[in-house]
Structure 1
Amino acid sequence: MARKFFVGGNFKMNPSTREQKKVLVNTLNSASVDQDVEVVIAPPALYVIPVKETLRGDFKVAAQNCYEKPSGAFTGEISPAQLVDAGIPYVILGHSERRTLFHETSEQVAAKTCAAISAGLSVILCVGETLQEREAEKTKEVVESQLKPVVAALSEADWSKVVIAYEPVWAIGTGKVATSAQAQEAHADIRAYLSTAVSASVAENTRIIYGGSVNAGNCKELGSQKDVDGFLVGGASLKPEFVEIINAKKA
């Protein structure tokens, strides 16, 4: 079975106002998009429910993060159970900003991933290397080290609820983009690792998407690579060109 193309929009800590949020949602609601693409957008936590209530039915909403506990005295956190109760189907975990700015370890990301899937969520699991690691030719090693605790925490069946987002840290918000060949190589390495570490079936069926300054100008070439199953889009998801990115596979 062919892997369904997936385009996620990570709004990060944007937009700044409810009015801007409304404009973004209206743009998406009126867009003509490829119906063969799964579209998921991740607004800030404050807007997750209102966006879900006003967004067109064929698009899904994700949270940008969650905690590993179902409830309790964890000020400022959101639990997987709360997201499920709110009808939110996806959560982004392990984004490079969570790892670098908030010092989340791969073990913490794995614990969150396990908790999210156990609660009934699907996970957009982010991995990727820094520029220093890329230049030291450690991309494969770094990405596998980030995936290893997740592999240890999940059952084979759990992987049907995971989309892996390969995000080279050096290409996020910098305007730099991995070449289509670099993206394909990294994605093929991830698929090969899953085949060995989990199973050939999981490797074949897991969607591996690319994130890192994806825009209307580079999305078609990136999306044409054999192992690139879509995108996780940052800054461009706040612009009208996001619709062009969703339609990257259209003839």
Structure 2
Amino acid sequence: MRNLAAGNWKMNGLVADLAQVQALAKAHPAPDCDVLLCPPATLISRMADAVAGSAVMLGGQDCHANASGAHTGDISAQMLKDAGASHVILGHSERRADHGESDAIVLAKTQAALFAGLVAIVCVGETEAQRDAGQTLDVIGAQLAGSLLAQLDCAPNDLVIAYEPVWAIGTGRTPTLEEVGAVHRFMRATLLDRFGAAAREMRLLYGGSVKPANATEIFAVPEVNGALVGGASLKADDFGPIVAALSRG
């Protein structure tokens, strides 16, 4: 499988920042990994034009479970695809916490994304309190059980799982490599038990304060097939070395 370097711009980015994306695409014309940027919805269409013909793919940061309707302020999976997106992030901890998204809601959005032909990146992760209580694997297991389809009704590459420990997002803190490895091994085993051999082809990403300084060692951990990167994806000079490290992996 090809590794995946995914950047989540969150609520950041204006038209002027498209220059960063063009610089990234120019610096990595044929990377040995997939490269994905997920900007705010306001930039997807313009970014699609900016990276046309390059290796950079685009994704949304969320989608509604319904294809259309009276849902002011929301955006559907079909709309994302129409704007030029090929992927969408779902169940990010900031959506779960700030918007009260349950596993059932994430599951409905995942089904909508796959139906629309998008690759679904489903996020899971524990809080610091849950980690300190020794509940990490229980939390991850429950989120996987509730947020994913009962059967794998899509190509394995169309469903990506991103482990993002909530306490590591934007804090500069990361789990030890042993802890990252333990969670990724657990996720792989859980997915294999649920979906069978096809789960071997599903990509497992790590996210949470990934930066150029720690990317190489994180990507060397078995069962880590890429990264979901936050702040470091906003600048080509920061995200580029992460793409390069993953390409070497």
String of CA shifts for 1:110-143, please: whole Å, max 9, x gaps.
Answer: 0000111011111111100001111111111101
Q: Equivalent residue for 2:84?
A: 87
SS at match of 2:89: strand
Equivalents in 1 of 2:203, 2:22: separation in Å?
A: 28
Equivalent residue, structure 2, for 1:105: 102
Structure 2 alignment gaps of length 5 or more: none
Does 1:119 pair with 2:130? no
Q: Distance in 2 between matches of 1:150 and 1:161?
A: 15
Separation in structure 1 between the aligned mates of residue 195 and residue 225 of structure 2, nearest angstrom: 19
Q: Deviations over 1:151-186 (max 9, x none)?
A: 345434354311110000000001101122111110
| Greater shift in the superposed pair: 109-118 or 149-158 | 149-158
> What is the match of residue 4 of structure 2?
6
Q: Is the 8 A contact 1:151 1:198 kept in 2?
A: no
Report the equivalent of 1:237: 233
Question: Counterpart in 2 of 1:195?
Answer: 192
**Is 1:70 matched with 2:67?**
yes
Report the alpha carbon displacement of residue 83 of structure 1 after superposing the two structures with TM: 1.8
Check whether the contact 1:33–1:243 (CA below 8 A) recurs between aligned residues. no
1:114–1:154 contact (8 Å) kept in structure 2: no
Q: Structure 1 residues 154 and 78 mapped into 2: Cα distance closer, same or farther (>3 Å)?
A: farther
Q: Percent of counterpart pairs with the same letter?
A: 40
How far apart, in 2, do the equivalents of 1:73 and 1:61 lie? Answer: 26
Q: 1:198 to 1:236 in 2, by over 3 A?
A: same
Q: TM-score, normalised by structure 1?
A: 0.93
Q: Does 1:207 align with 2:208?
A: no
* 1:137 corresponds to 2:134: yes
Structure 1 alignment gaps of length 5 or more = none
Give the drift of 1:36: 1.4
Give the drift of 1:22: 2.4
**What is the aligned partner in structure 1 of residue 19 from structure 2?**
23
- Deviating beyond 6 angstroms after TM superposition, the runs of 4 or more aligned structure 1 residues are none
Say if 2:45 and 2:83, in contact at 8 Å, map to a contact too: yes
Q: Secondary structure at the match of 2:44?
A: helix
C-alpha distance in 1, partners of 2:69/2:241? 42
Number of aligned residues: 246
Give the letter for the 1:142 counterpart.
Answer: V
Matches of 1:216 and 1:125 in 2, distance apart?
Answer: 24
Quote the residue 2:145 is aligned against: 148
Q: Is the Cα–Cα contact under 8 Å of residues 127 and 167 in structure 1 kept in the other structure?
A: yes
Deviation at 1:5, TM superposition (A): 0.8
Spell out, residue by residue over 1:75-126, the C-alpha distance to the aligned partner (whole angstroms, 9 max, x if none).
0011111122233110000001000111101110000001110111111111
2:183 aligned with 1:186: yes
